[in-house]
Amino acid sequence: MSLKSERRGIHVDQSELLCKKGCGYYGNPAWQGFCSKCWREEYHKARQKQIQEDWELAERLQREEEEAYASSQSTQGAQSLTFSKFEEKKTNEKTRKVTTVKKFFTASSRTGAKKVAQEKVVKQGQLGRERNADNILRDLKEIFTPSWELASPTEAEIQEAKAPSPSINRQASIETDRVSKEFIEFLKTYHKPGQDIYKQCKLFLDTMNHKRDLSIEEQSECAQDFYQNVAEKLQTRWKVPPEKVEKAMDQIEKYIMTRQYKYVFCPETTDDEKKDLTVQKRIRALHWVTPQMLCVPVNEEIPEVSDMVVKAITDIIEMDSKRVPRDKLACITKCSKHIFNAIKITKNEPASADDFLPTLIYIVLKGNPPRLQSNIQYITRFCNPSRLMTGEDGYYFTNLCCAVAFIEKLDAQSLNLSQEDFDRFMTGQTSPKKQESDSWSPDVCLGVKQMYKNLDLLSQLNERQDRIVSEAKKLEKDLIDWTDGVAKEVQDIVEKYPLEIKPKNQALAAIDSENVENDKLPPPLQPQVYAG
């Protein structure tokens, strides 16, 4: 979805919130712009194509094996030892291929699954010497057919489904017990359909318990198939009125997802946690973004508006504490309604969609909800698809997805800033100019005033530090220049007055060195001491 940033604020065309296939339902970035219905159709088409290609590959490999076997038989003869080893190798290879082909199929690929199962049974009947045909058929049914779609489950299967599995047979939480009791009480009002609904839910939970090794997308597909299957049965087989169908589906989702939450929310096999940390780090880096930059039409100086903003932030944060997708959606809806009320009080007129999205972005930036991406992915995967396709829940959820996408791609142009200012704000070198303390309203919280005062003080200290660093660098340059200047002056003097070293003078001769009669002279007088 292309978001546009204009001087008057952030704008998204409402048509871009709808499914890009043109069905009229709300789309979702997680579904590549499709609604859940169209996305499932596109997903099934791609999946069936892949399944067909894989099946053709398996058949080709099998034909090549048969041809190689026939060729070896015609050239080498039927030696018992060689044949025995070849049969053993062939059995192992075939078992490996059957296991590989099984992995390509899941319970979600119902279209064409029974036909594939039948073809597989026929081929195994022709080639199999290891397994019984009844065992093959039973195994294929378990692989390709969801347990809730079996026409008439046997009494043993029902008893097995009622028995708690090892992973579920743990100490149930208080909330799980409460939800289970509420679900049973709710189904009592449906009489016979209620018993069938409960049985289908128990079978589904047992099936999901045995499919922990599936990817989260495949588990999501199983859940969506189950929702669709039960809704169709409520409307067609049990003739339940539409308004009661919606209530029943809400209770079914609550019962199912309360038990499945710890297994399917932010599983280790996905990168949801990594995305959470990335978004959280991004929001922290954007802490300096002001309402004016986003053109948010909300005046937090008005006490009523400030209370609405606080409630909206509380609701979006509270979303992470809920276990049921519908309850998480309810938190998003309450948050959005508080935003609309805040805009209405500020502008004294109803809020528009162009006012809502920037304010929602501001609330997300200010609240920094925990595990935001994990919650969005959880709702997308396991919520009743009808809630995301239509209604106010679907609209608000789609806008939240747009807000997160905008935050991830937010740049200088989006905030009407120069790239230089944007980079300085992101690196923390400076912060946008805050409101002067003298102009604060007397109703503003003292803590908020002190916070902005401290931010101003930090900004001033940062500017002083920058000046000190600049002066220190200048002083360092001056010292280097002075040292270079002194060295140059000394060099000039040395060149102008070069040092000349004269040779050493000869030793002076004695005064009487030329007197040839030195030898005839008397010796020099010696001092004598007389005793007196």
Instruction: Give the residues across from 202 on adjacent strands.
Output: none
Q: What 3-state DSSP class applies to 523? A: coil
Residue 9 is classified by DSSP as E
Angle (CA) 263-269-270 rounded to 5° is 100
Buried b (16+ CB within 10 A) or exposed e, 418-429: eeeebeebeeee
Sequence letter at residue 95:
T
Q: Identify the CA nearest to 346 among candidates 290, 297, 308.
A: 297
pLDDT of residue 123: 47
Tokens at 49, concatenated: 């194509």
pLDDT of residue 377: 94
pLDDT of residue 81: 47
pLDDT of residue 511: 56
Per-residue model confidence as pLDDT tens for the chain (532 residues) = 444 434 345 656 656 666 777 776 667 666 567 766 676 677 667 777 777 787 888 888 888 888 888 887 776 554 544 445 555 655 665 555 445 444 444 444 444 444 444 444 444 444 444 444 444 444 444 444 444 444 344 444 334 434 444 444 444 478 889 999 999 999 998 888 899 999 999 999 999 999 889 999 999 999 999 999 999 999 998 888 888 899 999 999 999 999 999 999 999 999 999 999 999 999 999 999 999 999 999 999 899 999 999 999 999 999 999 999 999 999 999 999 999 999 999 999 988 888 999 999 999 999 999 999 999 999 999 999 888 888 899 999 999 999 999 999 999 998 989 999 899 899 887 777 655 555 566 666 777 778 878 888 888 898 899 999 999 999 999 999 999 999 999 999 988 888 877 777 766 555 555 655 556 667 777 777 776 5
CB 379 within 8 A of CB 397: yes
Q: Identify the CA nearest to 94 among candidates 49, 119, 137, 131.
A: 131
CB count within 10 Å of CB 69 equals 15
pLDDT of residue 347: 93
Q: Identify the CA nearest to 47 among candidates 141, 99, 113, 118.
A: 113
Q: State the angle between helix axes of 242-264 and 216-236 in degrees (0 to 180), rounded to the nearest 10.
A: 160
Q: How far apart are CA 247 and CA 450, in angstroms?
A: 50
The pLDDT tens digits of the residues spanning 331-389 come to 999 999 999 999 999 999 988 888 999 999 999 999 999 999 999 999 999 999 888 88
CB 455 within 8 A of CB 431: yes
CB 35 within 8 A of CB 27: yes
pLDDT of residue 441: 62
Whether this prediction's pTM lies above 0.85 is answered by no
Q: How far apart are CA 222 and CA 256, in angstroms?
A: 12
Which distant-in-sequence residues (6+ apart) come within 8 Å of 441 by Cβ?
301
Tokens at 499, concatenated: 């040092």
pLDDT of residue 456: 81
Q: How far apart are CA 254 and CA 186, in angstroms?
A: 12
Q: Identify the CA nearest to 202 among candidates 228, 190, 184, 186.
A: 184
pLDDT of residue 446: 78
pLDDT of residue 531: 66
Size of the chain in residues:
532
**CA dihedral defined by 313, 10, 275, 46, rounded to 10 degrees?**
120
> Could you give phi then psi for residue 40, rounded to 5 degrees?
-65, -40
Instruction: Give the residues across from 11 on adjacent strands.
Output: 4
Q: Identify the CA nearest to 10 among candidates 294, 420, 212, 429.
A: 294
